[in-house]
């Protein structure tokens, strides 16, 4: 019994020590960002970023540019005000976003590759450090810092735990006995009163908006303040058609099977699903008697070129659409046909490609399986579901 009572006491002491440190360093974020003790108070630093950023499409994701804000007044007795420079930028990100920042530039010049760190007891926090930006009070104002994002976190809603296109950042200095890390957010100011020509959009694509990556030109972005403060799951916007009914189980089909790599066809890793008949969620809906025209999977644009498909072992053409939508079309299967004879759909993934396993190919749904949508010919029905959880 005794050993059981000691443990809670130890835990309490730990909490008190952590709380004391929080007060000393005045962290408004509970010392969870950045991952070292430092002076987080942004009013003690001359540096911050403009609250808005711009984004423009790039090959497999988005290019995001931040601007150094005007040097601000700060208490001159504080070394974080007078002695610090703007050596690095730290971004609080999701732990799943390793490798998401492909390149960094400062005023058009390449900066070193950022480093990624996962931290916290539960390994549930992460940050990117963008070092050697070399800005000072003489040239930080108006400087452009740009990052290029790619899968698995190709935009800021996917990159940062806020999930609404806003992000928390800290500015770090090169060398100083005093650790200064003024911490702030960008993308959180309310949109200005709308001048007729302004293009201010919410970077979280709502179902009725086109994807930001589809925007033909650079767009200034102001995220709306998020309602919830906690980390939001990255739900994204799949499928990308909005007019159809996405209710799970609306059509009499489903993808079954939790695929493991099985046989190989032309040297890749092959994963097979069964397209089978399933009870309808609403038997009175016209979707329940509709023909299956196409299946969309939620994948990544970087997986293009990595995949072949076989339906009942016969090669089947695949197409790709925006946001990593991987598609089989012109299927034309009636409910009776599939009920009588389920179809085997196999995905073969190139072993030398970036998406060599089904875990890397599928954007996973809440069940840990592949996310997909079924479509009827009229595009009135697009029930969305996940396959059973993938096994390792």
Provide the mask over 277-306, with x wherever binding to ligand NAG is found by CB under 6 A and - wherever it is not.
-----x--x---------------------
- Tell me whether residue 328 or residue 381 sits nearer to ligand NAG (CB atom): 381
349 binds ligand NAG (CB under 6 A): no
136 binds ligand NAG (CB under 6 A): yes
Minimum CB separation of residue 42 from ligand NAG in Å reads 21
374 binds ligand NAG (CB under 6 A): no
143 binds ligand NAG (CB under 6 A): yes
Largest CA distance in the chain: 81
Cα torsion 30, 133, 99, 146 to 10°: value is: 100
- Tell me whether residue 88 or residue 224 sits nearer to ligand NAG (CB atom): 88
Which backbone phi and psi does 4 adopt, to 5 degrees? -75, -25
* d(C-alpha 52, C-alpha 35), whole Å: 25
Provide the mask over 211-250, with x wherever binding to ligand NAG is found by CB under 6 A and - wherever it is not.
----------------------------------x-x--x
132 binds ligand NAG (CB under 6 A): yes
DSSP 31-71: T-SSSS--B--GGG-S--B-S-EEEEEETTEEEEEEEBPPP
Tell me the helices (H) and strands (E) count for the chain, helix number first.
Answer: 5, 21
Give the other-Cβ count within 10 Å of 259's Cβ. Answer: 23
133 binds ligand NAG (CB under 6 A): yes
The helix (run of H) or strand (run of E) holding residue 13 is helix 2-25
379 binds ligand NAG (CB under 6 A): no
Minimum CB separation of residue 251 from ligand NAG in Å reads 11
- Tell me whether residue 89 or residue 127 sits nearer to ligand NAG (CB atom): 89
* d(C-alpha 77, C-alpha 258), whole Å: 62
Are 383 and 375 in contact by the 8 Å Cβ rule? The answer is no
Binding region for ligand NAG (CB under 6 A) out of 127-135, 196-204, 259-267, 324-332: 127-135
Applying CB under 6 A, among 32, 134, 174, 176 the residue interacting with ligand NAG is: 134
Using CB under 6 A as the binding criterion, the count of chain residues that bind ligand NAG stands at: 17
């Amino acid at each position: 019994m005794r050993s059981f009572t000691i443990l809670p006491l130890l835990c309490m002491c730990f909490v008190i020590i952590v709380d004391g440190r929080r007060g000393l360093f005045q962290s408004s974020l509970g010392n969870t960002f950045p991952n070292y003790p430092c002076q987080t108070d942004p009013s003690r630093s001359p540096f911050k970023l403009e609250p808005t950023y711009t984004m423009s499409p790039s090959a497999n994701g988005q290019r995001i540019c931040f601007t150094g804000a005007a040097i601000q007044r700060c208490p001159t007795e504080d070394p974080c005000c007078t002695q610090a420079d703007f050596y690095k930028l730290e971004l609080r990100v999701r732990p799943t976003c390793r490798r998401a920042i492909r390149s960094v530039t400062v005023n058009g010049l390449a900066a070193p590759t950022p480093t990624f760190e996962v931290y916290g007891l539960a390994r549930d926090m992460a940050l990117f450090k963008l070092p050697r930006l070399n800005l000072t009070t003489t040239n930080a104002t108006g400087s452009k810092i740009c990052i290029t994002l790619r899968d698995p976190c190709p935009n800021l809603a996917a990159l940062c735990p806020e999930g609404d296109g806003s992000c928390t950042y800290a500015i770090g200095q090169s060398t100083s006995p005093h650790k200064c890390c003024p911490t702030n957010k960008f993308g959180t100011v309310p949109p200005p009163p709308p001048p007729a020509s302004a293009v201010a959009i919410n970077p979280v694509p709502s179902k009725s908006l086109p994807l930001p990556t589809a925007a033909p030109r650079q767009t200034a972005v102001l995220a709306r303040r998020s309602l919830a403060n906690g980390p939001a799951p990255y739900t994204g916007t799949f499928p990308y058609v909005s007019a159809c009914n996405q209710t799970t189980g609306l059509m009499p089909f489903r993808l079954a099977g939790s695929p493991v790599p099985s046989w190989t066809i032309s040297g890749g890793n092959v994963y097979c699903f069964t397209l089978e008949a399933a009870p309808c969620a609403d038997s009175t809906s016209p979707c329940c008697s509709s023909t299956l025209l196409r299946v969309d999977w939620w994948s990544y644009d970087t997986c293009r070129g990595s995949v072949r498909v076989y339906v009942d072992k016969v090669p089947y053409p695949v197409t790709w659409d925006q946001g990593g939508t991987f598609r089989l079309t012109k299927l034309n299967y009636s409910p009776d046909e599939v009920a009588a004879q389920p179809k085997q759909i196999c995905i073969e993934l190139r072993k030398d490609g970036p998406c060599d396993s089904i875990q890397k190919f599928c954007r996973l749904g809440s069940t840990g399986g592949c996310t997909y949508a079924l479509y009827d010919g009229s595009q009135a029905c697009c029930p969305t579901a996940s396959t059973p959880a993938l096994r390792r």
